[in-house]
Amino acid sequence: MQCLHCDLSEQGHRVRLGEGEGEKQMAICTGCSLLCEDIVASFENGSLKHAKNLCRRGHGHFQAALTERTRPLIDGEQVAVDKAIERAAEILKSAKRPLLYGWSHCTQQAQFAGMALAEKLGTTAEVTLDGASSFCEGILMERILAGKISTCTLDDVRNYADTSIFWGSDPSSSHPRHLSRFSYYPRGEKRQRSYEEERTCIAVDVRRSPTAQLCSNYYFRLQSGGDAQFMEAVLAVLDGKIPKVADKKKMIELATILKKTEWGAIFPGPGLIYSLQDKMDLFEQLLARLNEITSFKVVPMLADCNARGFNELLFEKTGHAGSVSIQGGSAAYSAEHSVLAAAKKCDAVLAVGSDPLADLPIGTARALARQPIIAIDPRRSLTTDAAKVVIPSALTGLEAGGTAVRMDGVKINFEPIMKSELLTDEQILVRIMEAI
């Protein structure tokens, strides 16, 4: 189907660019991994003049372009960007165990440049390359990329899904347009009667989240960490056994919905993935059972705009979606190479497309803060405040063009909608590499 807003190509959607500043332009929102490509926006005189189709999260993301921008700094003193890049190269060159962390807000082009930098540094050092999703969604992504778990695109969900299950995820808060663009409200090719008659939306969560409130009668409340137990109960009832749960009637009702489903999709979030951890086989078992009865696909609710792109890049190189070490020209995976372990032994940190000091556990953040940090970031963060070197970059999607991979694996190409003198993440990484 031809997209109304862009030229569809084999490589993905490409948004047409407007004709200059102040004019309304089609834009991609890089505020989350839905990468909504129907945004109309214009900036004028340093403010967001017009915005259409942005969700609240996206609106915050677009407004962020105008506030708390970083400046090139070394030890808190403003310098020329060339000096900051030069100093970053010196730090990385002299490091024996550098950690290159983040990447989920970067374009694929920047991620490729990051991999090339890691490989170059890896000729003389032990480099750890990791991202925020490696110990959460990455666990599931790995199984999807390995073909162990059946997946689909969000366009398939819009066109065919009659049952959507939000398990440990809350798109109304994390991906606000998920339900309206794909999973519940839209009229798809085979779902013209949509949410009024044809679509059922189910929430499985520890709290009555905003999404669970929309699912009304189909909210299944879990005990904290009770996902595996709930899964076993679903498997039991699908096999005609009496489930070991308090509300047996409701569980049987769920099984009936699942059995009647023509085309279902499960959207697992951090709640499910953290809860299962080493019991992910149980999830595969449930999917296998469901697919004996009908068709169920899985699309993980990756948070950041290009988290999937980074997972795919690492998987292609190593067969794993995160926690990679590169040394002597070869890449290897191990939990020992996760940011949590690497923070305690690294001697330099390159943080790009992330704010590890805000996001990571306090012990890890504190360990990172003891090392010289090079922060490539368009905006002020806890990490830039603690960094030895700050290199300002163009905002992905607004000031920097490139490619990102949507949560379902569809590549989205975009061009900048704001003029900027700032270097892109990719350009900065290439220049650091050249300086090394």
Q: How far apart are CA 24 and CA 52, in angstroms?
A: 10
- The secondary structure of residue 188, as a DSSP letter, is B
From the list 114-122, 143-151, 167-175, 177-185, the region that binds another protein by CB under 8 A is 167-175
Q: Is residue 386 a contact point for another protein (CB under 8 A)?
A: yes
Looking at 5, 49, 57, 190, which residue binds another protein (CB under 8 A)? Answer: 57
Applying the rule CB under 8 A, the residues between 28 and 47 that interact with another protein are 31
Among 369, 430, 435, 436, binds another protein (CB under 8 A): 369
User: Between 122 and 271, whose beta carbon lies closer to another protein?
Assistant: 271
CB 383 within 8 A of CB 355: yes
C-alpha pair distances (Å), 39 with each of 52, 186, 411: 6, 17, 17
Q: Which stretch binds another protein (CB under 8 A): 3-11, 13-21, 55-63, 401-409?
A: 55-63
Per CB under 8 A, 216 contacts another protein: no
| Cα 64-88-413 angle, rounded to 5 deg | 45
Q: Does 250 bind another protein (CB under 8 A)?
A: no
226 binds another protein per the rule CB under 8 A: no
Segment contacting another protein by CB under 8 A, of 81-89, 203-211, 260-268, 400-408: 203-211
Q: Smallest distance from the beta carbon of 351 to another protein, in angstroms? A: 13
Q: How much is the CA Rg of the chain, to the nearest whole Å?
A: 22
What is the distance between the alpha carbons of residues 391 and 423, in angstroms, rounded to a whole number?
9
Per rule CB under 8 A, is residue 338 in the interface with another protein? yes
**CB 429, CB 400: distance < 8 Å:** no
What's the token pair of residue 268? 């697992």
Please give the Cα distance from 262 to 269 (Å, whole number).
23
- Taken in order 63, 66, 68, 70, the sign of the CA dihedral is positive
Name the minimum Å distance from CB 159 to another protein: 27
Draw the binding track, 272-311, toward another protein (x: CB under 8 A; -: no contact).
--xx-x----------------------------------
The span of 247-255, 280-288, 382-390, 400-408 binding another protein (CB under 8 A) equals: 382-390
Give the separation between CA 6 and CA 13, rounded to whole angstroms: 6
Q: How far apart are CA 138 and CA 135, in angstroms?
A: 6
Strand 73-74, strand 47-52: pairing: unpaired
Q: By CB under 8 A, name the one of 130, 156, 162, 170 that touches another protein.
A: 170
Shorter beta-carbon distance to another protein: residue 81 or 203: 203
- Beta 73-74 vs 77-78: how paired, if at all? antiparallel
**Residue count of the chain:** 436
Q: Which residues bind another protein (CB under 8 A)?
A: 31, 55-57, 59-61, 63-64, 67-68, 135-136, 170, 172-174, 176, 206-210, 221, 224-225, 270-271, 274-275, 277, 338, 340, 355, 357-366, 369, 380-382, 385-386
